[in-house]
Chain A
Amino acid sequence: MNRRILSREGWIRLAVIVASTAAFEALCRAGFIPRTAVLPPSEMATSLWHILRTGEYNKDILSTLQNVVASAALSVTFGFAFGVVLHALPRLRATVEPLLASYYAIPTFMFYPVFIVVFGVSSRAIIAIAVLLSIVAMIASTLTGLDRIPRVLRKTALIYRMSTPKRAVLIDFPAAAPHLFTGIKLAFAYAFIGVIASEFILSGQGIGYAIAYAYNNFDNRNMYGLMLLVILLATAANTALDTIDRRLQNRSRR
């Protein structure tokens, strides 16, 4: 079967990115944008290739990825558990939900001194901030997913004489899966932001720390190479998660 690699919209999106990058390259090369401010995209790519080839920053890249995965995993696990508990306890939910709704109005990063005191300058402090930033997205998605399970599916579970745990595993969680996965996607995105941003101020290693170090030493080449790496990693992860998310959403459409 002849499958299309990209949709029409996909080709348009790609064309816009390529054209913007080419225009940016031309402006840099023509001197409209000074090299001391921004490098041409081709040099960023060359720098990234050099970074990956020499392995100069491998320790930092690995540290960042480990922190992101740990933060996302903790946020998803505890966010899901907390969401399930809140859903099961309506009074607690009524108390907590307004706080959750205004949660993202609070700049979580201001708590970094607290985390340094508690965990020291370490990965644990970075993970704590990233979890704090990402866990509420998972809680909210879990609540939405469980709220939206059609009542008729609960009746169906009764007809099959299922116990509550069986119903949760065989009906509730699969029915809520599209929303739960949206929570996973958001938790991962927030964890990524939390880790990179925390590394600027809380760490002696990691991509965020390496970017800050390069910036402080006027090392534009490495700084932009690493920034390009962050963009590519975030885009690749988000695209992969988004593909699964769309499949789940399409399957659950009624």
Chain B
Amino acid sequence: MTEPAGNDVHVRLTGVTRAFELSSGAKLHALGPIDLDIRRGEFFGVVGPSGCGKSTLLDILAGLSSPTQGTVLFEGKPINGVPDGVGVVFQEDASFSWLSVHDNVAFGLRRNGVDAAEVSRRVDYAIGFMGLRDFANAYPAQLSGGMRQRVCIARTLVLQPRLILLDEPFGALDQQTRLLMGEELLRLWRETGATVMLITHALDEAAMLSDRVGVMSARPGKFIDFINTEWPRERDSRIVSDPRFGAITSRLWDKLRVESLKSMGTASPGASA
């Protein structure tokens, strides 16, 4: 079991594995075994080589997929289907092109039967929070990629999830936009007090945003290291100039380089040099 454990555990995975049956009938062991505790209110980052099962892990936590073995507890209860209180932001643009920004953000609330006045109040807040106030009546096609992703985050935020799962949400954005979106994400995390799990390819993003970063091995993905960043809760993208930031990304890369080479099939005894 990995640190930290205790009474404030929000998500607990015990012996979680995931295998897929291929069309040839062979089994592909994609993930695990994974033992992991995520604290309530923690910002937990996950990095790992391509194809190591990061997204599979997120799907299991979101209730979109079931583990082959092991148990997953969210707030002490086993996950069966998508649990109440979980919000997911995907890498791909998941905005509804046929709805305005306002209606996109209001979508989940209206589905949940929230009354119109409350919908209006919460949507206005989320739109303002994500800096979309001037675009409330625009359609996603009229927005940039970064703004569309903000719409998706606002759509998740407005439902006040207690666990936010982010699957490379800024993967398609340029570096500057990613840094600024990262700041907004930190602001959102502080404001909501939600637990966040961020899956990312970008080591700097993981190092800057996370309280703790888990490094996954090549397939079948397991956690091979956890790094506590020990950043203050009040932080922004300027921490990239902190000397500790370089040390964290360097440690992440040391671990990840070996695993990435393995996943590319080019690992050699000297590869970890």
A-B interaction: yes
Residues of chain B within 8 A of A252, CB atoms compared? 97-98, 141
Give me the interface of B with A, judged by CB distance under 8 Å.
62, 64, 81-82, 86-88, 90, 92-94, 96-99, 107-108, 111, 139-141
* Chain B residues whose C-beta falls within 8 Å of the C-beta of A34 in the assembled complex: none
B173 CB, nearest partner CB in chain A, Å: 14
Q: Is the interface of B mostly helix, strand, loop or mixed?
A: loop
Q: Are A159 and B62 neighbours in the complex by a CB distance under 8 Å?
A: yes
Q: A155-B90, A171-B96, A174-B96 are in contact. Are A160 and B141 (CB under 8 A)?
A: no
Q: Which of A159, A161, A162, A251 has the most CB of B within 10 A?
A: A159
Closest Cβ–Cβ distance, residue A88 to chain B (whole Å): 21
**B111 and chain A: residue at smallest CB distance:** A160
> Among the interface residues A151, A158, A174, A253, which one has the most CB atoms of the partner chain B within 10 A?
A158
A254 at the interface (CB under 8 A from B): yes
Closest to A252 in B: B97
Q: Is the CB of A155 within 8 A of B82?
A: no
Complex contact A250–B87 (CB within 8 A): no
Q: How far is the CB of B122 from chain A (nearest CB, A)?
A: 16
Per the 8 Å Cβ criterion, residues 120-159 of A in contact with B are 150-153, 155-156, 158-159
If the complex has contacts A253-B141, A254-B141, are A175 and B87 also in contact, measured as CB distance less than 8 A? no
State in angstroms the CA–CA spacing of A161 and B62 once bound together: 11
Is A177's beta carbon under 8 Å from chain B?
A: yes
Q: Please tell me if the beta carbons of A159 and B87 are within 8 angstroms of each other in the complex.
A: yes
- A251 and B97 contacting across the interface, CB-CB below 8 Å: yes
A251 touches B90 (CB 8 A): no
* CA of A254 to CA of B88, assembled, Å: 20
- Are the C-beta atoms of B64 and A177 separated by less than 8 Å? no
Contact of B98 among A151, A158, A161, A175 (CB under 8 A): A175
Closest residue to A156 on the B side, CB-wise? B94
Q: Are A150 and B92 in contact (CB under 8 A)?
A: yes
Q: Given A156-B94, A160-B108, decide whether A251 and B82 contact each other with a Cβ distance below 8 A.
A: no
Give the Cβ gap from B58 to chain A, nearest Cβ, in Å.
10
The answer on a CB contact under 8 Å between B94 and A153 is: yes
In the complex, A96→B115 CA distance in Å?
47
| 5 A-B pairs with the lowest CB-CB distances in the bound complex, closest first | A152-B92, A174-B98, A152-B94, A253-B141, A252-B97
Could you say which residues of chain B place their CB within 8 Å of the CB of A152? 90, 92-94
Q: Are B141 and A158 in contact (CB under 8 A)?
A: no
Our pick among A151, A158, A162, A254 for the contact of B97 (Cβ within 8 Å) is: A254
Task: Please measure, in the bound complex, the distance between the C-alpha atom of A161 and the C-alpha atom of B108, giving whole angstroms.
Answer: 10
Question: Measured between C-beta atoms, what is the minimum distance from B88 to chain A in Å?
Answer: 5
Q: Are B88 and A251 in contact (CB under 8 A)?
A: no
What's the nearest-Cβ distance from chain A to residue B34, in Å? Answer: 21
B244 to chain A, nearest CB (A): 36
Interface membership of chain A positions 160-193, coded 1 if the CB is closer than 8 angstroms to chain B and 0 otherwise: 1110000000110011010000000000000000
Choice from B87, B93, B99 contacting A254 with Cβ under 8 Å: B93
Residue pairs across A and B with Cβ atoms less than 8 A apart, 27 shown, are A150-B94, A152-B90, A152-B92, A152-B93, A152-B94, A155-B64, A155-B90, A156-B94, A158-B64, A159-B86, A159-B88, A160-B108, A160-B111, A162-B111, A171-B96, A174-B96, A174-B98, A175-B96, A175-B98, A251-B98, A251-B139, A251-B141, A252-B97, A252-B98, A253-B141, A254-B93, A254-B141
